[in-house]
Amino acid sequence: MKTAASLAWIVRVTFQFITAALLILLGLAAIAWTMSAALGHTAWLDLGLTFGDRAYHEAGMIVQIAVTTLIVGLLAYLPGNARVMALETSHRRFNMTMEDVTRAYRIAHAADRGGNFNLKSEFDSVRERIAYLRDHPDLAELEAPVIEVAAQMSHISRDLASVYSDDAVARARDFLIQRQNELEDFNQRLSGAKATATELRQWVDAVELDESVAKSQLTRLREDLMDILPEAFAPEVAQDSETESAADLIATGERDWLYAEDTGEEYDDDTAPGPEIIELISRKAAQ
């Protein structure tokens, strides 16, 4: 790409020089011919031009003078064109020089990041870099000023090369890779824990649902059996009634005893709990 652009620029500049040279030669020839014809040494241009029935015998002279004037006018633009071409050439040379400096600086900076330069003083450091760039195979065609500028730029940025050296960048990359691997492992374990928790929650919900269904079915079955076979549940009903009666008797006896103790009255043996109450309490305790 760069070679094609350079070749196109060379062709364009060469064509401009050839065109300018031809224009100068043509202008000089036209001026000399017109001056010679005006002085009578040569004949004017002869053109047989007619417009309708009328013939113009001086048409050749008029065309010759007009063409000569046009060429002289074009010659007036040549100095400006020459200045533009000179500016383009100098700008291109400047760009080529800066590209060479940039290329040399990149090579020197890469070598500095690799730890190839160890001298500390400015003079020795720049000289070491110049020697390295001169011996580099990719910079053999560069001139000495370009290499010197690149070496000075590399010396100025030596602190930057030390901070971002190849070893430091490699350690940073290894650290980031390790952190990334640890994060991936943690995410995998976290995903497994979430899956386990979700499974246990679903299991607990299923067990609770089954228990609720079983309790509902058992309650419904008891209700159906009580409607169909009430005699089978009569002992339980009687037992519940006895329990409630015993509780009432015990509560009544306790209230009487407490009242007698608080008032100081003698407790009547007739109101004391009978053997049947004691037997009922014993039977319930045994049950």
* pLDDT, tens digit only, all 287 positions of the chain: 456 666 776 787 788 788 888 888 888 888 898 888 888 888 888 777 777 667 777 777 888 888 888 888 888 888 877 777 776 666 555 555 777 788 888 888 888 887 778 777 777 788 888 888 888 877 777 777 777 888 888 888 787 777 777 888 888 999 999 999 999 999 999 999 999 999 999 999 999 999 999 999 888 888 877 777 666 555 554 555 555 554 555 555 545 544 444 555 544 555 455 555 556 555 655 55
**What is the helix (H) or strand (E) element at residue 51, kind and residue range?**
strand 49-51
CA angle 158, 161, 163 (to 5 degrees): 110
Cα–Cα distances (Å) from 254 to 150, 236, 280, in that order, read 112, 27, 16
Provide the whole-model pTM: 0.36
Q: Considering just the CA atoms, what is the radius of gyration of the chain in Å?
A: 59
Q: What number of CA atoms fall less than 13 Å from residue 141's CA on the CB side?
A: 5
> How many whole angstroms separate alpha carbon 117 and alpha carbon 137?
18
At residue 152, the pLDDT reads 81
Amino acid in position 265: E
Tally Cβ neighbours within 10 Å of residue 44: 19
Give the per-residue pLDDT at 186.
93
User: How many residues in the chain?
Assistant: 287
